[in-house]
Structure 1
Amino acid sequence: MKRVPGGAVASLQRGAATSSAGGQRAAPRQHSELPVPYRSKALAILLALVFGVLGAHLFYLREPGSASGILLMTLAGAALLLVGAAMASGALAGGFVLAILVNIVGASAIVTSLLIALFDVVRILTGHLKPFNGRFHPRFFQLRLKPEAPALDPTK
């Protein structure tokens, strides 16, 4: 039970508020009312440049579906490169031509992940890639908002 203005008692039941005074349901809290965390554009670009092949910048921007796809593509490409190297050395059965083809497919998957990360850097800079359900910090290099400093009283 929760007291609301006017002396009525309200209870929260499964996301909807009800009031005992009039029996009317209040509107559930909208997503826009929730606090939205700021994301740093500089950190997103840095993550895309350094760990973009792993999708780190997309995890940071809360795009886990796209980030997982890039991560899986990179891991599959790395696995194919290892299999192709084992085939070329003779540790695994297969011809040399097949080993080269497997290496080409693995390398192209990793290069594709790299190109997607570089493309995402351009999208972040131009404002076409933004955090999911959030926004970038107004200042480029600042991670968090600084609290307001108390005003100095000139009479003291």
Structure 2
Amino acid sequence: MISLRGGSVTSGGRFRCPSCRHEVVLDHYGVYGLQRNLLVDNIIDMFKQESTSSPRSAAPERTEEQAMCQEHEEEEVNIYCVTHSVPTCSMCKVFGAHQDCEVAPLKSMYQTQKTELTDGIAMMVGNNDRIQGIISQLKETCQTIEVTGPVWQHLSFCLCLIAM
């Protein structure tokens, strides 16, 4: 058995997760097959954002565009709970109501849903154009009937008289 920063690894590629303490088995993908740790990913993202921003400030300014978690007031909403279809924060995933939920990065879910909505709108616009065409055809048919209707009524009356 090899000690690995608080966790232990056996020769079979099994070890305990240092965060949740669940047993993890390495498959043929090795470490690349492990689930991403969203909390660590978010910490890395925040570090990258801070390091690329202009001169270091004590704390980044919050804008109105940044949604904050209602449960963890200091945490930004930065992941999407697929199970409940709601955006949430990393702390809710690790320690809160979304521990057992499937989550995805908020940016990728935003892009996915934006694409789905854009496609849906395009389909609706296409359907609207088709329906407008059908309405135009129906209006033309109604006008034709209004013009030729009395003629047909007269002809059918004459046919009835001849048939008698």
Q: Normalising by structure 2, report the TM-score.
A: 0.24
Q: Which has the larger radius of gyration?
A: 2
Q: Normalising by structure 1, report the TM-score.
A: 0.25
Greater length-normalized contact order (CA 8 Å, ≥ 6 residues apart): 1
